[in-house]
Every structure is written in structure tokens, then in C-alpha cells.
Amino acid sequence: MGIIETRGLTKYYGGTRGIEDLSLSVEDGEILGFIGPNGAGKSTTIRLLLSLIYPTGGSATIFGKDVIRHGPEIKRDIGYLPSEVFYYDYMRVGDFLDYSASFYRKDCSGRIKELSGLLKLDLDKKIDDLSYGNRKKVGIVQGLLHDPKLIMLDEPTGGLDPLMQKNFYELLRRENQAGKTIFFSSHILSEVQKICHRVAIVKEGKLVNIESMENLIRNNYKRVELMTREKVGKELFDLPGVSNLKLDDGHVSFLYKGDVNTIAGKIASLDLVDYTVEEPELEEIFLHYYQ
């Protein structure tokens, strides 16, 4: 049983599609990247899981409990950081975090101090006076201060400078090592690549693939580039699994998917100047799903 399980989850806004028949399972202790372009249904999924909106069809459970029926109970152990953060402008950061902590039946003051120290957040400032990046930090602290078992992040890094992003990933990795499950939605693939164990790809409201990061990259494509002393004929690479073949004098490049021995044999028969075989960037795999 996964930490999050959705079965045929569907949401329509009037006639417009939010998500359709989405079935997904997030394992205990993993970091799952949830990727897709804008409008694919990432936020809809997260909002359904948090019962901020209600499904048109299907169901979802978190910790084995129905998200609608047991919403409040489940949320004791969820931390959520939305893409855009809005908090009570009239409050001071410290007061707001205390208010946030007052919803959980535990003492969170240590965590607040620790997290805001780590992120260099000034607790005495009014939320109204904070910059966008600092508001985001408030968001991170309020999402983690109660030591949640499941952390849900909806495109979380916008507005954070590179240094803060690094700190943030570090923080997430630490939480994950402490056994927390993380559900991470993003359209920035490098972000997901850096941190996630598995990746779920959504397209137009539907789940198109879910695979471990390793599998996704290894078992899919290799980018092969060769530099040869002599011109190579096109027919040599007329094999199943070869795509995007480009021949240019002594330069050959293509994507390959299949048995590596086959292609290694072919390459060995050539007189090479140089060669590289690379794992493709996630971007390239991603584009493949969107062609």
C-alpha cells in the first residue's frame, strides 16, 4: 500500500478537463517527481489530494485513508508548499508560524527556530513587508514545522535564488533520509532530475508514464556521437532502435534504444577518432512524450 494511492481520479471544471482517470501510487520514503507542462493537471491533482477541491470521479487515499472522509486527520502529517504563497499580511512572521503550529498537537517551536535559522528568515518582520523570496521561505517553514510524514510541493522553487534552492534541496534530502515521503510537482526537469527517485509524467490530464529515474534514463535512450576518419554510409545504422540519425562527413550522431551489444559491434567496426555515449537529459525524454 502506497502512501498516496489514486484510483481513476478525475476532475472536470464544468466542461473543462482538469485530470482524467489518474491512477498513481507513491511509495513510502520515496521522492516522486510529478512532471508535465503548465495545464497538464499537476496542481489539480495536488488540490484533490488535499481535498481543497472535490473529484468528479475516482478516489484517492493517503496513509490508506480516504482523502475526503479523513481529510483533517490525514493533514496532521502532511506539509504542503504551494507554488504561490499567500499568508495573512497583517501578521508578523513569528506570530504566523506560531499560529500555523497551533493546528498541530505538538510543540513545534524547536523546528521553527531551526528551519528559520537555516533559511535565514527574520521572525519579527511583517509578512506584508516581505519580498517574494522571503515569503516563499515562510512557506517552506510552515510546511515543515510540524515534521510531516508526507511533504507535497507544487512547483516550489520559483522565487528562490540559486543558493537558497540548493539549501532547499539539501533540506528535502535530509527530510527524505529521515524517512519522509516527498511528492514534488514541477515543470522544471533539471529540478526533478536532481532529487527524485521516480518520475511520473502527466500530459493533458493523463498519466503517460511512471518509472524510476534510473530506468527512465538508462532503459530508454542513449545519445551516441561518433567521429570517424572516413565517411560512413547511412545503411550501416539502419537498425531498429536508432532514431534522429544525423550524418555529416566524419560526424555521426543518433539516439539508440535497444541491446547495447548490437550497437557496440557496429561501432567497433569503424575507424574512430572519438566517440561518446551519453545518457540523454530528462528534457529529451520528456520531449519524446510530448511529440
DSSP 95: H
Is residue 88 within the footprint of another protein (CB under 8 A)?
yes
How many separate helices (H) and strands (E) can be counted in the chain?
Answer: 10, 14
The interaxial angle of helices 132-144 and 93-101, nearest 10 deg, is 20
Extract the runs of DSSP E, i.e. beta strands, from 14-95: 16-26, 31-35, 57-62, 65-66, 78-81
Binder among 10, 61, 100, 116 for another protein (CB under 8 A): 100
In the bound state with another protein, the residue whose beta carbon lies nearer, of 103 and 290, is 103
Taking alpha carbons only, the member of 41, 61, 29 closest to residue 208 is: 41
CA distance 190 to 33: 11
Binder among 23, 37, 39, 52 for another protein (CB under 8 A): 52
Span near another protein by CB under 8 A; candidates 65-73, 167-175, 181-189, 216-224 = 65-73
Is residue 47 within the footprint of another protein (CB under 8 A)?
yes
DSSP 126: B
CB of 263 to another protein, least distance (A): 49
Taking alpha carbons only, the member of 243, 252, 257 closest to residue 225 is: 252
CB of 86 to another protein, least distance (A): 4
Binder among 27, 94, 104, 288 for another protein (CB under 8 A): 104
In the bound state with another protein, the residue whose beta carbon lies nearer, of 36 and 148, is 148
CB of 143 to another protein, least distance (A): 9
Binder among 1, 15, 38, 72 for another protein (CB under 8 A): 72
Site for another protein in 209-248 (CB under 8 A): none
CA distance 74 to 49: 10
Is residue 107 within the footprint of another protein (CB under 8 A)?
no
Site size toward another protein (CB under 8 A) is 29
Is residue 84 within the footprint of another protein (CB under 8 A)?
yes
Binder among 15, 86, 177, 246 for another protein (CB under 8 A): 86
Burial 167-196 (b: 16+ CB within 10 A, else e): bbeebbeebbeeebbbbbbbbebebbbbbb
Site for another protein in 131-170 (CB under 8 A): 142
Is residue 187 within the footprint of another protein (CB under 8 A)?
no
Q: Is 272 helix (H, G, I), strand (E, B) or coil?
A: strand
Binder among 103, 275, 289, 290 for another protein (CB under 8 A): 103
CA distance 36 to 34: 7
Question: Could you tell me which residues are beta bridge partners of residue 60?
Answer: 6
Which residues of this chain interact with another protein, rule CB under 8 A?
13, 47, 50-54, 71-76, 78, 80, 82, 84, 86-90, 99-100, 102-104, 128, 142
